[in-house]
Amino acid sequence: MRLPAIRMMSDVFELAAVCDVDEGKARSVGAEFGVPAYSRVQDLAANEDLDIAAVSTPGDSHHAVGAYLAERGVNLIVETPISPTLQTTDVLIGAVERGGVKLEVAEQFCREPIHLMKRAAIEAGHIGDVLRVFSLFQTGGYHIVSNVRAMACDSEAVRVTGLAMNSPIPRVNVSDIRQYETESWTMDLVEFANGALAVMSYSAMYHGRALGRKSQTLFQIDGTTGTIVEDDVHTTTEAQRLSGGRATVCPIRTVTREVDGIQVLDRMEVETDPPLVWQNPWPQYRTSPRGLAIVEEMDSIARAVLDDLPTRYDGYRARKDIEIELAVAESGRLDGKPVDLPLQEPVSRETKLLARFARDYACDPFDVEACVDVFFPKR
């Protein structure tokens, strides 16, 4: 998925080579872009002088491929999840630190301009202090955790409670790689150090809008003086609060301009008092408003490498998303018993994932040299 972004951002990036375990695919893409093609990461690292590597392989392989390259001085942008377990995540983070390189994790949900505007409204004080964040019938896992944490002002999560229901259903083929005869549904509570509470609900059926799920969604942030409901900011003055509490609704507006048939974002704005405006920092790129999340993460790794800056979504931020996801699963396994954070030892799901890795790939997940030679199918 990085290739279109690299091509679009050719003023910043130059594609040096491609690598895919499918040698035929690698050669085809290499020929299309006029660059060398490799089928082994070892050969890529040995023959190319890379500034950045985009690791767009299946999630189980991220820690191994990333660690191998990081220890050879290559900066990284890694797709989500950073890695499915905390232990393998730490393998990657450790390699990045030893290699003295930069790591950007390509978590996009919280970078979409609409969510950046919501965060800006919170930081400007338009709804007061955040009390609760609701994410119902939307995406799940580490994606939504990243956004919920952002809306809770990046406060540390201190405790989670998870409820889980696994229900037999007639077979549903959501996609070529996602077929279900059981619906796994969760309801999660996350408590933050600043007193905020997040409520999240997810089922794999939401992902494909199967069975009518996700026909309606709710993303809401309750504050002490107002609320953000989906794409509307509800604000109040003291006079309004003392005379019924009715809020003024301020919609977040998306202002675009057409460039070669594509609606390119010019700015996001909301007529609060005072007004808020998020001006697109990258108007030169022909991409949709949601596509700017990819531009943002690509810009982050570029600026980090060129100007020796921290990346905006580094390994530690991504690790927190995985930790919350694992803790919620553990609470669900324990019939809703709260689990405190940070985790002090591996939870059941992490242990099972590591055992599955060893079984499916016939490889020790902590043996980076061996893992980079393994074929990891898309799950």
Same domain, 75 and 32: yes
- pLDDT for 312 beyond 90: yes
How does pLDDT run across 253-270, given as a tens digit for each residue?
A: 999 998 888 889 999 999
Torsion of CA 325, 294, 271, 233, to 10 degrees: -20
User: Residue 102 is encoded by which pair of tokens?
Assistant: 């930069």
Domain end, chosen from 105, 133, 149, is at: 105
Are residues 156 and 182 both part of a single domain? yes
pLDDT of residue 165: 93
Q: Which residue has the higher pLDDT, 261 or 160?
A: 160
Tell whether 94 and 239 lie within a shared domain: no
Per-residue confidence at 278, pLDDT binned at 50, 70, 90? very high
pTM (whole model) above 0.85? yes
**Residue 357: strand, helix, or coil:** helix
Q: Provide the token pair at 340.
A: 């405190």
Higher pLDDT, 260 or 251: 251
Of 53-67, 132-146, 339-353, the range with the lowest mean pLDDT is 132-146
Helices (H), the chain: 2-8, 23-33, 41-47, 62-70, 86-99, 113-123, 141-151, 204-207, 238-241, 292-307, 315-333, 348-361, 368-371
Rounded distance between C-alpha atoms, residue 99 and residue 49, angstroms: 15
Q: Which of 73-87, 158-172, 202-216 has the lowest mean pLDDT?
A: 202-216
**Arithmetic mean of pLDDT, 3-18:** 96
- 133 and 60 within one domain: no
Report the percent of the chain where pLDDT is more than 70: 100
Average pLDDT in the 45-61 region?
A: 97
Q: Is residue 289 very low, low, confident or very high in pLDDT (cuts 50, 70, 90)?
A: confident
Domain contains 140: yes
Same domain, 77 and 122: no
Instruction: Check whether residue 58 and residue 178 sit in a common domain.
Output: no
**How many C-beta atoms surround the C-beta of residue 289 within 10 A?**
18
Does residue 252 share a domain with residue 221? Answer: yes
Q: Which residues of 113-124 are buried (b: 16+ CB within 10 A; e: fewer)?
A: bbbbbbbbbbee
Q: Compute the mean pLDDT over every residue in the chain, rounded to the nearest whole number.
A: 95
For residue 288, the model assigns a pLDDT of 87
pLDDT for position 139 = 82
Residues 198 and 261 in one domain: yes
Position 78 scores a pLDDT of 98
- Whether residue 143 is found in the same domain as residue 277: yes
- What total of structural domains would you count in the chain? 2
CATH number at residue 68: 3.40.50.720
1 pLDDT exceeds 80? no
Give the domain range for residue 151: 110-287
- The Cα–Cα gap between 65 and 362 comes to 17
318-342 tens-digit pLDDT: 999 999 999 999 999 999 999 999 9
pLDDT digits (tens, 9 = 90+) for 66-118: 999 999 999 999 999 999 999 999 999 999 999 999 999 999 999 999 999 99
Mean pLDDT of 199-207: 88
pLDDT for res 204: 84
- Altogether, the residues listed in the chain come to a count of 379
CB atoms within 10 A of CB 253: 13
